[in-house]
Structure 1
Amino acid sequence: METDNAEPAARNDSLWLLKSIFSKKSSADGGADAAAKNPPNNNPPLPFLSPHANSVVARCSKILGISTKELQALFDVELPDNLRQPPSYARNFLEFCSYKALHLAITKPNYLTDKEFCRLTFDMMIAWEDPGVDSNLIDDETASCSNQDVESEDGWSLFYSNSTKMAVQVDDKKTVGPEAFARIAPACPVIADVTTVHNLFDVLISASGPRLHFLIYDKYLRSLEKVAKSAQNALGPQVIASLSLADDEIIIDVDGTVPTQPVLQHIGMSAWPGRLTLTSYALYFEPGVGLYDKAVKYDLATDMKQVVKPELTGPLGARLFDKAVMYKSTTTAEPVYLEFPEFKGCSRRDYWLDISLEILRAHRFNRKYNLKGNQQSEVLARAILGIFRFHAVREAFRVSSSNYKTLLCFNLAESLPGGDMIMETLASQMALITPSAGQQEVSISPNANRRHIFPVALLTLIRLKVVSLKEGEVNVEATYLAGNLRVGEANPLEAVVKQLEQDTGKAEAAQATVDQVKVEGIDTNVAVMKELLFPVIEIYSRIERLASWTDPYKSVAFVVLFSYMIVRGWIKYIVPSVFVFLALVMLWRKYVWRRRQLEAFKIVAPPSKNAVEQLILLQEAITQLESFIQSGNVALLKIRALLFSVAPQATDKLTLLLFAMALGLIFVPVKYVMLMGFLEYFTRYMPLRREDSERGMRRLKEWWIRIPAAPVQIVKPDDKKRK
């Protein structure tokens, strides 16, 4: 008993110690709650805001250099009446202040590593969830997440490595939900994009629970800054000269520089290691180890019908390892395979496949919608920022690679059902960017009336010093609307993505039911198919019995009834009647049986077979399929022989028959043609015609057997692969 009580007591002591650590306030920084309790003299608390929201608004007013009262006056003047109604007044005012402040905050250098910026944006998200005065989210006795200054010597939190869940238990109130993250994070374009913001949130919380903790958010921003710095430092004069890069070409990522993690290029049966570089226009492979030869360029920008996909590869051309990316275009004589060897999994290959496809699809998007100038640069900048976020998450959290592709805008549009709607909406937004944007003065009002939007992604890369500024391209000094967000309104892209994700969820739920009903074994699947097709099989068997005249009375009644329907022209109503009947059955099932659950379809399983018997059964099925295909080929070759008059006598008879049929179809009404065809088929085996019908079928088979097949010659293709 003492041992059992010791573990909970120790755990409680640890939690108390951690809470005491998190409750310590820095005299220099001050917490959000402390700022709310002791606001500056010129910024008294606004009565309609919660304490935490007042703290955020006070810090926004400090960034903007105006008082909170002046901010409220601007809000009342600039926003329409429908956004200033009491139910949403506090939240819309908080968004207004947050967007204005962030538009200025992201103009500062190295803002991603600024603790104040990280704390401010996270507090904005917390305040967004409960902005009103009646908010109970913030506990006055608990320190804000912005006071969590416990760090190791290298600047990283003690909990980043392996204690995220413990940290969440310590301060579970200081977390953020998906909607708050989606409204605030895209205001800083490098942090999130409105198209993929919900997917980014899901990836960030994958290891810590249903809500986002400050520790995870802070770690993500630090990793993002490292990725941006790496891209900034990658573009040196020596690299530009060795790769022959264009003036506006950006290096996005490099792999193969570490000897233990090489990149192998396979062409034919040859393979050699080297360094792989992805830029905003192409893939470059430099053969060698340490010292590299001249780079080979694999273009992703020009329309050359490129194909980039995962592929198997191995030594001497063997297809053994699923760790390669295949590149093929009209300029390559044969496919090129870029292999990413690793002991476990294929995460390196998946990463390079996704980012290469993202650049390829961004260029296809530009060509499809004929975007020019800044429009084209903005699209590429969106793709590059998405890759930066992808890289940052991959390096910081090592989550499953299945989540990676959803962080990339153009890959997401390709993978979602109806993703073309995302592309059309994005294209309509890109069309509002002035191709030769040299905007000088731009209003920083989040809801200013505007006829065009601004290349915020391109401007973000310029401010991160990843892209060099061209003369007349964009005005860095002007203040742009970060993310082109509007207070109280959903971005059109976000609305489209939400709708498509709902449809995708329904499709995934339906696919889950499909996976549940799949059965193993050929014989079992055949049994299931027979049971499902039982009504069709039964109808067909009954018609066959009527045509065989085993019961003459039923056969006569059927022939007379059907013949009468053909003569009166009622036959055209049969198929529509079947459709109406099925529709009525479904409506009856929907409204009368709506409370009854569909019972499982019961199948009598065939006798179980071992693996050898299953293989024999499969071999027999393949043999039957091969025989069926052979018979079909023989029939087609005999028809070819008839068309080219290889058998003159048979061709003459067939020619006369075709002429007679053509004349009959011209001069005889269609209903009588149908009647004659029906009577011919259904009276073939009646007692009066059986003997003549059998004799006629025998003569027809003999005539068919005497027709020779047209000749066929099999030519082997030339093997031009390198040896």
Structure 2
Amino acid sequence: MDGEDGIFRRFVRQRSLSSLFGRGIRGRGSSEGEDSTQIKPIPQLSLVTNSVVSRCARILRSSPLDLQKNFEIEHPEQIQNSSAYARNVLEYCSYKALQEVCKNPGYLGDKELRRLTFDMMLAWEVPGAKTEFMPKEKKFHRNLGTEEEDAGSLFYIDSTSVAALVDHKKTVGREAFCRIAPACSPIADSITVHNLFDALTSSSPGTLHFLLYEKYLGSLDKLLKAAKNAQGLPLASNLPIYDGEIILDVDGNIPIQPVLQHIGISAWPGRLTLTSHALYFESLGVGSYDKATVYDLAADSKQVVKPDLIGPLGSRLFDKAVLYKSSSLEDPVSFEFPELTGHSRRDYWLAIIHEVLYAHNFIRKYGLCESQRAEALSKAIIAILQCRAIKEVIYVIPSLSKTLLPFSLAENIPKGDAILEALHGHLECIAKPGGFLPVSTLTLCRRGLNVMKKGDEVEEILPETGAFCVGAVSPLEKAVEKSIFCSGEAETARATVEQVKVEGIDTNLAVMKGLLSPVIKSFDKFHFLSSWEDRFQSAAFLVLVTFIFLRGWFRYIVPVASISIAILMTWHKYSSKGKLRDPLKIVAPPSKNPVEQILILQEAISQVEMLVQAGNIILLKFRSILLATVPQTTDRVAIALIGAGIIFLLVPLEHLLLLGFLELYTREMPLRKYSSEKVMRRVREWWVRVPAAPVKLIPPEDHKKRN
């Protein structure tokens, strides 16, 4: 019987989806004379959920009641939670059915499967019998199409077909989409599913319509077929690709839209190809392409990929290029993507190149084995195809592309490292017996895209545990949720930053002065005391500071200040009760026209230049002293340094600080004012006599090569 069952399963797997899930398949629990239309619904579930569970049962060649019993046996802890029981049953049946359906290579092209996955999301929102959403006044008409179409339909059963007839106005929310869609690897990834939902619902925020969802799956199916066909085209034979390397995208093969490769001041038009391992550039020759130049993205060669300004003869005029450099290249290379307006073409290529590069960095960082490496690369490949499908469906702006790519997203969001660690933990389960399936690798292999080398096979033995937890959240999903929460806080903070940005140097200086007003007032007060204009206040402050130092309380100043600030912050927290306080009021300076603003900027730059010059002079004079340009000066400084070293060695630090404070604070004291001015005059005169070390400017060498 086992041999016959295995033959039957292989025979069924080879058939199309419509024939696999045809009318003739009955539940295992039903008798031969019992028709599938007599299957009893589960009373705890809503009509639409019963419809979905019944269709899942037919896929699994079982009955809804048998699936319910299996769920209760495998997940006994979920039975106690009555409020989530219906949803957990739905998730269990959906995950099992999708795992079986995904074995067929062409399942994305089946329109009934697209409807089933969408109905799963609708049912997830109203799983229980008490949460039914179908309007009572809407009447159901059995005649949905021709009799032949209805007879061969997998997803409509007489007993629950009223729930399966989903109104075209019905839409799916974020939570349902993010819970069901990742169970089917090509549709969505657990890391980027939230951003994918935002992209799909950009025209209707928060709600996903079936027509748009179906269009996305259709585009994704077309791109998977095109990726398979690309491996056998002449393009693939012209490139030095090897086993397991997949062509992801090609640009520049249209003569009127070439890609320009810039090295130094030289530029060549050609064709750029991105694979799962490298970039290939083929310069355009006479009637054909020259031999491809390979830029290996999988190598550990300190590679850098970033946007770049480009132009003719090495000029930096247009923001339309991608700069690539690595330790294996003598000169950096720029790939220019010319277009009339904007730089969307460049941004898209920058995003997908980064995704491949980050995927290989992830593989090297965690030392993944062959099966884990293939799974990580498969996730990146599928994400790039999903990004292309979104572009074709809704023409999404390229700046959103990087948020649809898992490795790029994890590199650029708060707590993205925790996501990568959770992903590594997930991939570790693939190599263990009874672990998770390498679903992304299997998805590509079933579509004819083998990401593994010849001789390496992916076993399709079903594990006892699945990657998706029924009624619970996996560690990877938890890491994504934490990152989303932190990203939300970061976006809120970034929005406040954008609100407080002001234009104009004088205005920004006014804001800074207002923010630093407590410090400025404290400094002014100290300057007033040190000037000894009010002798009583100055003497009292001197006695207080001296007493603190002599009693050894100086060490407590920093801890007391820290605790006081913490108490002040806590008081503000509870007094404001989470509400924003009144904004800081700054008196704006008189408005100035653009010419006046330019003059202010020029003056500020001149002042900065003077400060830099003064700093250089000080450093050059110290260099002159250090190199003994003036021997007498060097001797005096050396003797002073020896004395300072002995003092620091013998005198405690607190006493030295007290002496320094007394020196600075009592300079304007009537008893010391004359002598202090005389000493400072002699120091200035000595400093003026110290010569600056000479400087010789050498013109830079031109490293640009002319070919």
TM-score normalised to structure 2 length: 0.88
- The residue number in structure 1 matching 2:442 is 459
Superposition deviation, residue 465 in structure 1: 0.9
Partner-residue secondary structure (3-state), 1:371:
coil
Identity value in percent: 51
1:527 CA displacement = 1.2
**Counterpart residue number, 1:548:** 531
Alignment RMSD, CA only?
A: 2.5
Residue 241 (structure 1) aligned with residue 237 (structure 2) = yes
Q: How is 1:171-320 mapped onto 2 (pairs within 5 angstroms)?
A: 171=167, 173-236=169-232, 238-288=234-284, 291-320=288-317
2:380 is the counterpart of 1:397: no
Change (3 A) 1:496 1:336: same
Partner of 2:134: 138
Among candidates 356, 359, 363, match of residue 356 of structure 2? 359
Contact kept, 8 Å, 2:374 with 2:452, in 1: the verdict is no
- Aligned equivalents of 1:172, 1:247: Cα separation in 2: 45
Map 1:415-426; keep pairs closer than 5 Å. Answer: 415-426=412-423
Q: Indicate how the Cα distance of structure 1 residues 56 and 396 shifts in structure 2: closer, same or farther if over 3 A, else same.
A: same
Q: Which residue of 2 aligns with 1:45?
A: 41
1-structure distance, mates of 2:275, 2:196: 23
5+ residue gaps, structure 1, are 1-27, 31-37, 151-169, 440-449
Amino acid corresponding to residue 652 of structure 2 in structure 1: P
Q: State the partner residue of 1:335.
A: 332
Equivalent position to 1:411, from 408, 412, 418: 408
SS in 2 for 1:228: helix
Give the Cα separation in 2 of the matches to 1:338 and 1:415. 23
In the other structure, the counterpart of 2:85 is: 89
> 1:424-439 residue pairs with structure 2 within 5 A?
424-434=421-431
Does structure 1 residue 673 correspond to structure 2 residue 670?
Answer: no
Which of residues 632, 639, 656 in structure 2 aligns to 1:649?
632
Q: Deviations over 1:151-199 (max 9, x none)?
A: xxxxxxxxxxxxxxxxxxx956521111111121111101111111111
- 1:278-322 Cα distance to aligned partner (Å, 9 max, x none): 011100011117611100111100011111111111222221211
CA distance in 2, matches of 1:481, 1:666: 71
Residues 249-287 of structure 1, C-alpha deviation per residue, up to 9 Å, x if partnerless? Answer: 111111111223221111111212111110111000111
Deviation at 1:415, TM superposition (A): 1.2
Instruction: Quote the residue 2:161 is aligned against.
Output: none
Distance 2:506 2:663 in 1: 38
The SS at the match of 1:484 is: coil
Identify the match of residue 700 of structure 1 among 677, 683, 695.
683
Of the structure 1 ranges 418-427 and 313-322, higher mean CA displacement relative to structure 2 is found in 313-322
CA 1:368/1:458 → structure 2, altered by over 3 Å: closer, same or farther? same
**Amino acid paired to 1:62:** R
Distance in 2 between the 1:709 and 1:149 partners? 95
Aligned residue-pair number: 656
Query: Which letter does structure 2 place at the counterpart of 1:655?
Result: A
Select which of 669, 677, 682 maps to 2:665: 682
> CA shift at 1:476, angstroms?
5.3
1:355 and 1:387 in contact (8 A); partners too: yes
8 Å Cα contact 1:186/1:194 also seen in 2: yes
Contact 1:188–1:482 (8 Å) recurs in 2: no
CA contact (8 A) 1:145 1:174 kept: no
8 A contact 1:308–1:328 mirrored in 2: yes
Aligned CA distance change for structure 1 residues 269 and 149 (closer, same or farther; 3 Å): farther
Q: Does 1:349 align with 2:316?
A: no
Aligned residue number for residue 159 of structure 1: none
C-alpha spacing 1:354/1:148, structure 2 compared with 1 (3 Å) = farther
Closer/same/farther in 2, CA of residues 659 and 528 from structure 1, 3 Å limit: same
Structure 1's 47 and 478: CA in aligned 2 closer, same or farther, altered over 3 A?
same
Q: 1:272/1:483 Cα in 2 relative to 1: closer, same or farther (>3 Å)?
A: farther
Shift of 1:64: 1.0
Deviations 1:29-75 (A, max 9, x none): 99xxxxxxx99345211211111111111111111111222212211
> How far apart are 1:576 and its partner, in Å?
2.2
Residues in 2 aligned to 1:427 and 1:250: alpha-carbon distance in whole angstroms: 23
TM-superposed CA distance for 1:133, in Å, is: 1.2
What CA distance in whole angstroms lies between the structure 2 residues aligned with 1:296 and 1:534?
60
Which residue does 1:5 correspond to in 2? none
Q: 1:398 to 1:196 in 2, by over 3 A?
A: same
Contact 1:46 1:54 survives alignment (8 Å): yes
| Contact 2:310 2:321 survives alignment (8 Å) | yes
| Aligned: 1:505 with 2:502 | no
Name whichever of 192-201 and 547-556 sits farther off.
547-556
Deviation at 1:469, TM superposition (A): 6.6
Contact 1:358 1:383 in 2 (8 A): yes
The answer for the alignment partner of 2:69 in structure 1 is: 73
Q: CA deviation at 1:140?
A: 5.8
Q: Is 1:564 matched up with 2:560? A: no
Query: Residue 83 of structure 1: CA displacement?
Result: 4.8
Question: More deviation in 678-687 or 630-639?
Answer: 678-687
257-266 vs 217-226, which moves further: 257-266
TM-score by length of 1: 0.87
Kindly indicate whether the alpha-carbon contact (under 8 Å) linking 1:138 and 1:173 is maintained by their aligned counterparts in 2.
Answer: no
User: How far does the alpha carbon of each residue in 1:216-267 deviate from its partner, in whole angstroms, 9 at most, with x for none?
Assistant: 1100000001111111011126334311111121111111112232211111
Q: Output the amino acid matched with 1:578.
A: A
The whole-number CA distance in structure 1 between the counterparts of 2:144 and 2:249 is 33
